[in-house]
Structure 1
Amino acid sequence: MVVLFVLISGTLCLFVLSLLRPLVEEVRKGNLSTLGKRIQHRFVRRINGLRYLLAGPHIIDHEYSRAGGKPFTIPTPSNDHLMITSTELIKELMSAPHQTLSLHAVAKEMLQPKFTMYGFEWQDQRGVEGTGFVRALRSLLTSHLPQFQPDLDRIIRLALEDELKTTGSDGFARAQLFPMIKRIVTRVNCFVFFGEELSNNGEFTEAALELPQTIIQTAELLRVSPAFLRPLVTAIATRRHRASRILFRYLEPVVKERLAKRCAADQHAAKQDVPADCMQWLIDTSPRKDPWSPSRMIGEIMAIWFSSVHQLAMTATFVVEDLCLHREYMEPLRQEVESFAPEGSVHTARLDVSKLTLLDSFVKESIRCSNADAISCRRKALQTYVFRDGSRVEKDDWVCIPQRAMMRDAQRYSDPDKFDGFRFANANGLLRLGQTTDKVPDKDPSTITTATVEWPIWGLGNTACPGRFYASLVMKLLVTQILTEWECETPDTTQRHMIWRSSIVPREGTVGLFRKRASSQ
């Protein structure tokens, strides 16, 4: 009841304040003659903005169709979103100064870290001290993926067996797909981020699973809450920062020890054996001239931890659901996996997943059809910005790419509403032969991890997701484990998702049926 009260009262307060703001401004300027029309216009836009909360992707799709390739604006309860689709404008967006159009400011507005992350505060712009983190994930994590793969494969296999150990009289184990995959992704990520010891600690991994969910839910409540209620809402929604406090308790001594060892090694110019995990690489690439405190370091680690779990779990869930729903793809995908398995083994610990072009295409088509977010490449205007074509984004508004609408555009994809699991594999084959590609917009062969204007799900340019190669590997290992070890299907073909703002989130209640394959027993 408290959550419902906050949502309703907060939304109404925001609505009233959005109407009063132009009234105060016009009275201050003395422009009373235009006041009525401005308030009426504001009223209509804010009503549409409230609709965005529950139907954002559909509203964006509709306006995209009406715009005919031109920029268009979507009102939301808090600000307006300018949507751009042309290659020229998207390239201009990517090259705009971060001091003007800021990705970091978007994340701050969305996640409310001052409240949701145990008091950890962000600036509106990410300074140069954060560039090392990109290197830690893009270069160090990616280069260690072959080393990690056997352990990732083992953790996923054991996690699936643990989740699906209870079977019914028909031989099938039943599992709610989204909760199950969130737990699996958390176990895998804990190993890569924090090492073997912490990843085997039940209290720690439970808190690590809880934190991203708590951040998302609390941040959304705060965005529609009056300022005076935010401390109370935060305390209730986070259970007084229960997950954050547990993670801090476990991480603080480890981070202190590792920071001290780095300092000692720097002073004595001596190399030491250090753990090979993301936490260590983030510490190693953090500033040396003005070192961060352990609390600041843990805050940065938790912020990156959030992004590593939330989106990957949603995307992987849709991929597994599509595998259950489109069972005609299981046998050709299974044959591809077995054909590349080392020494004829069905196990995937040493499988070169980069060779699985059909699987890559299937996962990519799942993302195209069941995108977890209708928009990408968000930037917040820290000051008013005017694009070369005259399109204008006002201060505090956002500019975005409507990726879901673009990926369902009949001008870009043939039969865009049809799930074609091998769409991209076939297109890549034609491209390699120098032939036409049946509307798939890529000009060169592409994969899931491609970050281009035609495939912007990872972001673009220097801000493209540095962990996308890791995310791709985890999704592919999960699917290959299911293909080689399990039969799966789902009796639930009704609504697969819920919508909030631009997000398309898998339903918690969608059930998958899994049964061990005879050949794997």
Structure 2
Amino acid sequence: MTILDISTSLAVGSAITLLFLLFTTTTIPAALGGSNIFTYHLAALRLLWNGADVIQRGYTEYRDGLYRIPKLYRWDYVANGKKRIAEVADAPEDVLSFNYGVEDIIQADYTIGHKMTSYPHNATVVRAGLTRNLGRCFPQVMDEIIHAFDDVLALEDEDWKLIQVMPATMQIVARTSNRVFVGLPLCRDQKYLDLILNYTVTVFTRGTLIGLLPSFLKPILGPLISTRKSSLRHALKFLQPLIDERLAKDDECGSDWPGRPHDLVSWLIDVAEGEERTTSALTLRVLATNMAAIHNTSMTLTSALFDLTAHPEYISPLRDEVERVITEQGWSKSSLGSMHQLDSFIRESQRLTGTAPGQYNHAYRGSAQGRSVQMPRKVVGKDGFTFSDGLTIPRGSYLTVSAIPVQYDISNYEHPNEFDGFRFSRMRNDNTGESVFTRHMVSTGTDHLVFGHGRHACPGRFFAATEIKAMLAYILINYDVRSETEGVRPPEQCWGLLRWPNPWGKVLIRKRRGRQFGETK
């Protein structure tokens, strides 16, 4: 396709957008937009550059209502208020499709393959295999955390070292996750780790780029932008011997042969049928699971470290709690459950994201998972989707809910703009009659949407929480940490509705003097 062809296609796309605007009628207001093609596209571009402010404006103006935001070639809808959030969360997949909503965000047809969302049994594997086996797998997780921190940080003696946090956490998370996904020795193969880390980044960056194209250009340019095929070819060099051997052994001995590893590969094979029970299909599933696990977990851990060093007054009480629990119970999944303050600190870090040095304000950064809106859905019901008050979203539209504004809402949290690391541990201890299980790090609710809510809440959050808590606990008792500049938290990066921890942000770290707590019990 020539430059002239692309220019012509874009002109056609603009014309289609104009027709769409002229013939679309709705009573649902726009938080940002215009009455003609020029002002509409200006509004869509503003959403790309300043999406968080647009979502906050929509939340403020339409508190419990519904509003539209302009994308380059369509209107999307955003719902506000606990009641609407609950209705979206409870809607069945054949009315509001989560799978098609996610497919649109990362352009799954081109980046990870349509079958990842049309046959989403990765979620089943995570729930039935990974989550159920967390206790069994925890010694391996902890062992890899110890080795990964030593190798990645490469600290000498007890001298302070300035580290770039995001690349370090991604390496550590990738190694630890793959100890459970593919086991030793592959989880420590740097070339394999480079592959899955690059895949994780390119799925989101190239998916975002493809998403900016008009729909009729995506089949042409999408495959050229995506690295899915080349990533698969590269991944097969590492995973084909392992998967082929596992499939052959299962075919010969059944799925309960002695010594069969309890890992992601085995759990994927257990549910795979037909063409999904092939080496290529299973390899794509391993890549997709890595993409989800590494992205969210590393960003959450990075944010927590930035918050810990920007608020050093929390280090001593958190360290006391961790040391007490480990001394009494040892390292285990269940002992992590006794670290209520640590759990609260991470949940508060997820709730908030910061900008100004040493404080939080209305220029919030977005969640560690990186979206000002959450719970993406595509309306697939033949009659659209109708809220209980009669407002209807037409079939084919995309719907989300405001997320970060909810978590900064004073009606949901006292002093919502302040970082309060023990906010949730106090809530769990208050005699309010509210179930303590609504305030755990893994708890979801209409006032805390980091992991989504309802039937499609993130199935991997239990594994992610175990990793993050174990890693932060290990840091607290084995290292000293402080901010590069006292009290300053590295500013977040943003694009459109996405926000993420500063990838260049640094902290100082050194080995802690005295006893080291590394053994599992």
Q: TM-score range by the shorter chain?
A: 0.7 to 0.9
Aligned to 2:498: 503
Is 1:357 matched up with 2:337? Answer: no
Is 1:275 matched up with 2:258? Answer: no
The Cα offsets for residues 154-190 of structure 1, whole Å up to 9 and x where unpaired, read as: 222222222332569x921111111111111111111
Which of 134, 139, 142 is residue 150 of structure 1 equivalent to? 139
Aligned to 1:465: 458
Query: How far off its partner does 1:322 sit?
Result: 0.5
Following the alignment from structure 1 to structure 2, what is the Cα–Cα distance between the partners of residues 326 and 385?
44
Following the alignment from structure 1 to structure 2, what is the Cα–Cα distance between the partners of residues 87 and 470?
27
Query: How far off its partner does 1:317 sit?
Result: 0.8
Residues 155, 188 of structure 1: 8 Å contact kept: yes
Residues 79, 396 of structure 1: 8 Å contact kept: no
Corresponding residue SS for 1:77: coil
Using the size of structure 2 for normalisation, the TM-score is 0.84
- How big is the alpha-carbon RMSD for the aligned residues of Structure 1 and Structure 2? 3.2
Query: How far off its partner does 1:241 sit?
Result: 5.0
Aligned to 1:104: 99
The Cα offsets for residues 54-104 of structure 1, whole Å up to 9 and x where unpaired, read as: 221221112211212222222222433322233332232233232232111
Is 1:73 matched up with 2:68? Answer: yes
Following the alignment from structure 2 to structure 1, what is the Cα–Cα distance between the partners of residues 19 and 432?
60
Superposed counterparts of 1:313-352, under 5 Å: 313-343=298-328, 348=331, 352=335
Following the alignment from structure 2 to structure 1, what is the Cα–Cα distance between the partners of residues 256 and 500?
48
Which of 270, 285, 294 is residue 271 of structure 2 equivalent to? 285
Aligned to 1:159: 148
Aligned to 2:13: 17
Corresponding residue SS for 1:355: coil
Aligned to 2:416: 416
Aligned to 1:305: 290
- Cα 1:351–1:134 change in 2 (3 A) is closer
Aligned residue pairs, count: 485
Residues 106, 207 of structure 2: 8 Å contact kept: yes
Residue 65 of structure 1 aligns with an amino acid whose one-letter code is: T
**Larger proportion of helix:** 1
- Cα 1:24–1:204 change in 2 (3 A) is closer
Residue 126 of structure 1 aligns with an amino acid whose one-letter code is: S
Amino-acid identity (%): 25
Superposed counterparts of 1:417-496, under 5 Å: 417-430=417-430, 433-434=431-432, 445-492=438-485, 493=488, 495-496=490-491
- Cα 1:261–1:161 change in 2 (3 A) is closer
Residues 64, 84 of structure 2: 8 Å contact kept: no
Unpaired stretches in structure 1, ≥5 consecutive residues? 1-5, 30-37
Following the alignment from structure 1 to structure 2, what is the Cα–Cα distance between the partners of residues 48 and 179?
34
The Cα offsets for residues 179-236 of structure 1, whole Å up to 9 and x where unpaired, read as: 1111111111111111112112222121111111011111122222466587667556
Query: How far off its partner does 1:393 sit?
Result: 2.2
Superposed counterparts of 1:123-138, under 5 Å: 126-127=118-119, 130-131=120-121, 133-138=122-127
- Cα 1:106–1:214 change in 2 (3 A) is same
- Cα 1:256–1:513 change in 2 (3 A) is same
- Cα 1:507–1:39 change in 2 (3 A) is closer
Is 1:206 matched up with 2:194? Answer: yes
Aligned to 2:82: 87
Residues 186, 205 of structure 1: 8 Å contact kept: yes
Following the alignment from structure 1 to structure 2, what is the Cα–Cα distance between the partners of residues 338 and 425?
18
Residue 371 of structure 2 aligns with an amino acid whose one-letter code is: D
Unpaired stretches in structure 2, ≥5 consecutive residues? 25-32, 354-366, 517-521
Residues 84, 400 of structure 1: 8 Å contact kept: yes
Following the alignment from structure 2 to structure 1, what is the Cα–Cα distance between the partners of residues 197 and 452?
25
Corresponding residue SS for 1:507: coil
